[in-house]
Chains A and B, each alone.
Chain A
């Protein structure tokens, strides 16, 4: 493989005078299942092979993607990429440069205890159908259950003209379970995700019984939930909500491409933006976690990147282009969903570091507020406005957990809200998820329980 790829990259450098050229070839094999109630909608398998060519000529990027490893087609694609770069450079004002970086030659192999590609479809159906059965049998008010399952195995080959060559095994196991419950005119909805880069053994910990129970119980409990009051309240956020808050509200602003686009973190590096009990990492090295990998899609090794230390912004997430622009080191955050698209700065496993408080300590002083345990979606904006939807929440009354509330969401300004974090718990959980930024990336988010002095709670109508 190396020789073929190397010849293709040589064409860009020798024939078109590219400053930089890379090829990322992928052989991917996916298995997907969709279960609706206890019916298998379709068992699906697919092969996706292809290559992405990215070149820098006269300071502009050219990109081409082709679903083939045929040598002639790859050469055509690299020529295409070079012509595209030349076209793009016509109107360029500031040429793009990449930060200098070490080169690597490596072969990264996946070592799952249970390799999903060696497990039969029958076995995978057994597992997913068992989740559906547990969910539906939990309570007759549970009306529907939709399960999507995906596993992806394969190899990614990365080669650039600087001498880096990496063969990197890919392995992902993921499942999403949706359940709805209905009583009278009330509909509730509950979602769970499972995700791992370790192997199919994830289902030994997240067994069908555990997962099915969790998703069904929430849907049923929400039936008796009331609408939250709209307004500003103190809240305690669970690890699952802290994770999505850290990811959405803060993380995206610290992706250097968005920082450079004018995010509110632009002139905040080295400055205090959060209360001093807040420390945030983006870490690609957590073993088996859904957002972990060894090398990013520019051939840069992943790392544990400290973003906020004791309330002060100390780092951003970079690719080689933004690192050059902001005189930083690349952090291994450059990721592409597949060979059809170019890499973007993406998060990995993003979390807040735990401190000393117990859950009881966090809620005991709240006269009236909310405990938000689990999220349903979240979205950030470059001006620092965030929104996180809540799928499981409770009132806190006089320091105790009260009745459940449904369809709440929280919003506010990220920096103001980070400054209002007034207590951080000692527990810790990391939850798998998928992040959309034009492309989908597999990530984890998490942290401990935290207390926030006030956020806006979007209530019912």
Chain B
């Protein structure tokens, strides 16, 4: 992989900003993205393909009379295509409607210091290296249990760079690496198929353990066999990280988003300083977390990322902002303008949404439960009501806990409730923190969750 040079990208972006201003824009911002990815993929029990994806693009956001226009291109080879993109965004701005709340792009601030976001060892992984890692993971799964069939997965390594230049003097460049490893499995025995079980790891540095991921994915599937139905009642539920991430992504993470709050879509509106969760819950949105999957020096608008207290010992402290929503309340942006790439304008999203872990090991947490469920993943979390926080989902794969031990897998159990009630019913957090997308959290134990079984 050969990445583009910082100086070349910045110079291209500066020229584009200047062109926009020269042609009559009041303000201009250029975002340049580069993503170089190599993947070794597993399908139905074997490594069947390798891919290399080169994705570069430039996005122009320009403002004319408080109306915002946006345009992008993935043709960066000639300046004509870039110039055309800038002019298109200006044309879009002129066609659009003024926004009286528009106060401008952010101004220049020193970018944040971040640690462990780039590893040359990841950058230099060859396709043969990735095939070897995928193979290690696959063999480890096969060795663990003969009833397990690895259906899908792989290993991917990426180099990413992001550049923001705007007409207020912001000029910043950051780059990093990411390595991901995942395996989805099912187990089959005498006509029974388990739900899909899944294990994964994602890191910025080259410290991923494919052997553990393979073994764990196989162990989960094998233990999901002989699933039984469970009864309908309110009970204790341990949410493992992936289940928690799915649930929060469509509920709590929206409720703390300033865009939702300002537009009357959040149940947290007007509740800063109030108790919204049990006392053992402290959450930071930490854009600077060492080695975090969403750790960068600056956000999608060039605002330095930061650590923001969201919930402190159960009390709601802050929402997350981009420049636009912050300006509306005469506040500072919290550096949460997120861009997935060059295809869209920035959106407010969490960076690393960090639940401070507790002291108990997962084993201790299980051993303290007389009757409950351990939920690894959810089906249908995206059908939650994002405004009210109400959810009604299938818990799968899931295991029954009785008298401090896991007894059997559970099938067909639904969980129904409201995320805001659930937050108040969190009675413990374990010490097994890990990174799952934008969530960094341990297992959490919630009391009194409604389970609909047979």
- Interface of A with B (CB < 8 Å)? 32, 34, 36-37, 39-50, 60-68, 70, 77, 80-81, 83-85, 87-88, 90-94, 96, 120-122, 125, 129, 143-144, 180, 182, 185-189, 230-232, 257, 260-264, 340-342, 375-390, 406-409, 411-413, 456-461
Contacts and interface: CB of A to CB of B under 8 A. Distances in A.
Contacts of A96: 48
25 contacts: A32-B344, A49-B75, A63-B49, A63-B52, A80-B52, A87-B127, A91-B138, A121-B95, A122-B95, A143-B265, A188-B387, A188-B388, A231-B232, A261-B149, A261-B151, A262-B186, A340-B55, A342-B49, A383-B195, A389-B380, A389-B383, A407-B391, A409-B383, A409-B416, A411-B414
Given A42-B69, A187-B385, A382-B196, A407 B345 contact: no
Which of A46, A121, A186, A382 is packed against the most chain B CB atoms within 10 Å?
A: A46
Contact of A65 (B50, B55, B70): B55
Contact of B53 (A48, A65, A90, A185): A65
Given A44-B345, A408-B392, A67 B56 contact: yes
Contacts of B339: none
Interface of chain A, helix or strand or loop or mixed? strand
B351 interface: no
Contacts of B128: 87, 90
Contact of A88 (B48, B67, B264, B421): B48
A288 to B, nearest CB: 26
Nearest to B128: A87
A43 B96 contact: yes
Interface in B220-248: 232
Contacts of A461: 390, 416-418, 421, 450
Contacts of B74: 47-50, 67
Given A48-B73, A458-B392, 11 more contacts: A36-B259, A39-B97, A47-B74, A87-B40, A88-B40, A230-B414, A261-B44, A378-B380, A385-B379, A388-B383, A461-B417
A180 to B, nearest CB: 5
Contacts of B392: 389, 407-409, 458-460
B186 A411 contact: no
Nearest to B417: A461
A46 B89 CA distance: 9
Contacts of B91: 121
A47 B452 contact: no
Contacts of B196: 381-383
B92 to A, nearest CB: 4
B72 A47 contact: yes
10 tightest Cβ-Cβ pairs between the two chains A and B:
A389-B383, A377-B383, A61-B49, A387-B380, A84-B50, A458-B392, A187-B387, A409-B392, A187-B388, A67-B74
Interface residues of B, number: 95
Contacts of A120: 95
A63 B412 contact: no
B206 interface: no
A91 to B, nearest CB: 5
A94 B22 CA distance: 60
Given A85-B50, A188-B387, A382-B186, A43 B73 contact: no
Contacts of B380: 377-379, 387-389, 409, 411
B57 interface: yes
Nearest to A46: B72
A457 B452 CA distance: 8
A231 B232 CA distance: 8
Contacts of A64: 51-54
B99 to A, nearest CB: 6
A390 B393 CA distance: 11
A387 B88 contact: no
Given A88-B47, A458-B392, A187 B383 contact: no
Contacts of A32: 344
B435 interface: no
A47 B14 CA distance: 21
Contacts of A67: 54-57, 74-76
Given A46-B343, A460-B416, A230 B135 contact: no
A6 B343 CA distance: 30
B91 to A, nearest CB: 8
